[in-house]
Amino acid sequence: MAMRFTSALYEYTQHEPMPWKWLGDIAKHAGIQRDDQFKRAFEVAEAAGWLIVHDGNAVKLTFAGMRAVRRFQDSAMEKPWDVAALPAQPPLASSSTQLGMGT
């Protein structure tokens, strides 16, 4: 939820770290409707250093927040969501041949 909030701020500010935006506008942009989710999301994001809250009603993205969103977006692009995950390495066959040991 914190990443969702931070990503919404990233998009809402057109990928710029500094403009102050109203917390309510960002929550609405992120699709967060419940106050408890909203409060928890920005508290976690602030604690992670992804954003700064000003006077309890305005927020701005930090450079750390920009990097976190970009990493999140990059990792999401690398993983197809409609395909089951495959193991990183195939299981080893039970034979006497071992890698690096020759035949």
Tell me the CATH number at 18.
1.10.10.10
Is residue 88 one of the residues assigned to a domain?
A: no
Tell me the pLDDT tens digit for each residue of 34-77. Answer: 888 888 887 888 899 988 888 888 888 888 988 898 888 888 76
Is residue 72 one of the residues assigned to a domain?
A: yes
CA distance 90 to 15: 40
Q: In which domain, by residue range, is 58 found?
A: 2-78
Domains identified in the chain, total number: 1
Is residue 96 one of the residues assigned to a domain?
A: no
For residue 3, is pLDDT > 80?
A: yes
Is residue 94 one of the residues assigned to a domain?
A: no
For residue 86, is pLDDT > 80?
A: no
Positive or negative, the CA dihedral 12, 13, 17, 19 is negative
Is residue 85 one of the residues assigned to a domain?
A: no
Q: What pLDDT is attached to residue 96?
A: 46
